[in-house]
């Protein structure tokens, strides 16, 4: 692909990965007049078409609106004030908003957030380099950090003050840190999620998280015409072994209720399987290299936390970088890892707890199965348990060291010339 603009040779913050973390970081920095370049290995079309998350926490929604990228989400997304927990053939509503002083979640697909952020960065003449190959990071433990990559068959080098690895779980940044200085904690679950997209009107006004002896299932939504459903499966299973009829029969069995709730079949137009894992890398800073989002941590999707954690990380990190460029102080940068990890571990716990409560574990003995049912009944009965679930699900407010006053400052006009800007 021919670049439409020359790629800069130098920037303040070099960002690897144009997922939610990398794009949001670049956007937040731009609003405070800090320069960045985002290097992404895939094409823009691929990035914008990757189907993943759908649930935005209140803090994520607020940040998108506050920073001028929430307009389409407000128009096309759906606000939900509750979720249903379903087990033993009965539904139990968790009244998210009543339990959290009016906080709520927004159903708006991750790839739509991505499209909105890319559009905003390009409108501001931001530097996004798609199709960047062989990205490697260098000298982040010394004074001259830089990133090397190949673009349009040319080898390039980007010098920067800081490198931020927003390149997801399988990216290059975390792997570039010597193994003896990072501490990794992980758990792999013995199941995956089979996800489908269906052309059909909504099955339910609120998301349904269902526990059943055949396994977990989840009813979610994307729009008035497209619905998102998931069910627990063998992580090594393949989509070929699940013809549509088998999927509908399985979902009908797992979602059946005592009052004959029925699932209308629709046209399934997308199928996929995801593995389930918990993972944390500590710390999230190594010299001039910072990790954010899935590059530093993974949660199983049951708590809908991954995208939201990625956004919270870069919110904290952008404050620290902006403080550094405004004052020369490094306190925020030095405190980033500890502050981000507090939220990360809380989300790890919540996601693990939801996963443990809702899935079928083949290796659990009858005693453990009874404990799982006892936990579900406690949540259905207890206001205190429901409040804890609701607070975690809608997300705690993002803890920031400083007031985000800088967001209100007018963005500096981007300098043209030396760097060259635009999508390449
Ligand atoms: P990513 O989105 O993984 O982005 C990383 C980017 O870096 C990618 O574009 C990749 O191409 C690029 N990259 C990788 N390597 C390189 C390289 N070497 N050089 C350059 N670029 C590179 N989270 C929620 O909050 N709510 C949900 O409801 C939810 N549901 C989910 C459902 C499913 C089925 C799945 C799979 C995930 C779900 N998640 C959810 C998790 C969420 O999608 C991720 O946590 C989120 O995408 C993390 O964003 P990120 O920017 O850190 O990483
Ligand atoms: C969706 C994904 C999740 O991980 C979840 O917990 C709820 C909804 C979704 O894709 O809609």
pLDDT score for 61:
97
155 is catalytic: no
User: What residue owns the CA closest to ligand 1's atom 33?
Assistant: 52
The model's pTM:
0.93
Tens digit of pLDDT for each residue in 374-407?
A: 999 999 999 999 999 999 999 999 877 665 555 4
- The pLDDT value given to residue 411: 45
Rounded to the nearest angstrom, the distance between the alpha carbon of 300 and the centre of ligand 2 is 10
Residue 189: active-site member: no
List, chain by chain if needed, residues with CB within 6 Å of any ligand 1 atom. 16-22, 39-42, 47, 52-55, 110, 132, 135, 166-168, 171-172, 195, 274, 293-295, 301, 304-308, 310
CA of 219, nearest ligand number: 2
pLDDT, position 407: 46
CA of 399 to the centre of ligand 1 (A): 22
pLDDT in tens, 16-41: 999 999 999 999 999 999 999 999 99
Atom of ligand 1 nearest to the CA of 195: 34
**Nearest atom of ligand 2 to the alpha carbon of 302:** 6
Q: Which residues line ligand 2 (CB under 6 A)?
A: 53-55, 207, 218, 220, 228, 301-302, 304
Please name the residue whose Cα sits nearest to atom 7 of ligand 2: 304
Q: Which of 19, 135, 290, 293 to mutate to test the pocket of ligand 1 (most atoms within 8 A of CB)?
A: 19
- pLDDT at position 240 is 97
Q: Which of 8, 189, 393, 396 is catalytic?
A: 393
User: To test ligand 1's pocket by mutation, which of 107, 108, 171 has the most ligand atoms within 8 angstroms of CB?
Assistant: 171
- What residues in the chain have per-residue pLDDT under 70? 1-6, 401-424
CA distance to 34, 76, 263, 319, 390, per residue, from 252 (Å) = 52, 29, 6, 47, 27
Indicate which residue's Cα is closest to atom 3 of ligand 2: 304
């Amino acid at each position: 692909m021919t670049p439409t603009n020359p790629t800069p040779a130098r920037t303040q913050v070099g960002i690897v990965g144009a997922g939610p973390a990398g794009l949001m970081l670049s956007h937040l920095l731009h609003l405070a007049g800090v320069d960045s370049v985002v290097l992404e290995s895939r094409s823009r079309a691929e990035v914008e078409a990757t189907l993943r998350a759908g649930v935005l926490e209140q803090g994520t929604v607020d940040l998108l609106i506050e920073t001028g990228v929430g307009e389409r989400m407000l128009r096309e997304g759906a606000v939900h004030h509750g979720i249903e927990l379903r087990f033993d053939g009965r539904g139990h509503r968790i009244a998210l908003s009543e339990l959290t002083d009016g906080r709520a979640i927004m159903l708006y697909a991750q790839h739509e957030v991505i499209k909105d952020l890319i559009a905003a960065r390009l409108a501001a003449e931001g530097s996004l380099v798609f199709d960047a190959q062989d990205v490697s990071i260098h000298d982040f433990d010394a004074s001259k950090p830089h990133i090397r990559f190949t673009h349009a068959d040319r080898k390039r080098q980007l010098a920067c003050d800081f490198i931020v690895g927003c390149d997801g779980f399988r990216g290059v940044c975390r792997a570039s840190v010597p193994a003896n200085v990072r501490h990794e904690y992980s758990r792999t679950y013995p199941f995956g999620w089979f996800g489908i997209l269906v052309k059909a009107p909504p099955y339910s006004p609120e998301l349904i998280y269902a526990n059943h002896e055949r396994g977990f299932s989840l009813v979610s939504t994307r729009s008035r015409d497209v619905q998102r459903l998931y069910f627990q499966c063998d992580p090594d299973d393949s989509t070929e072994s699940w013809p549509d009829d088998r999927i509908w029969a399985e979902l009908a069995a797992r979602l059946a209720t005592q009052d004959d709730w029925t699932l209308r079949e629709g046209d399934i137009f997308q199928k996929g399987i995801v593995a389930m894992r918990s993972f944390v890398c500590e710390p999230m800073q190594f010299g001039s290299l910072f990790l954010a989002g899935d590059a530093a941590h993974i949660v199983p999707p049951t708590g809908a936390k991954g995208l939201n954690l990625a956004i919270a990380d870069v919110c904290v990190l952008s404050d620290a970088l902006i403080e550094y460029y405004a004052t020369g102080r490094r306190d925020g940068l030095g405190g980033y890892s500890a502050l981000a990890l507090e939220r990360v571990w809380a989300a790890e716990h919540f996601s693990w707890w939801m996963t443990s409560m809702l899935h079928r574990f083949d290796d659990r003995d009858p005693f453990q199965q009874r404990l799982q049912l006892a936990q579900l009944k406690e949540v259905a009965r207890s206001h205190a348990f429901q409040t804890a679930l609701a607070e975690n699900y809608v997300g705690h407010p993002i803890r920031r060291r400083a007031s985000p006053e800088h967001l209100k400052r007018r963005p500096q006009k981007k300098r043209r010339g030396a760097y060259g800007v635009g999508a390449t």
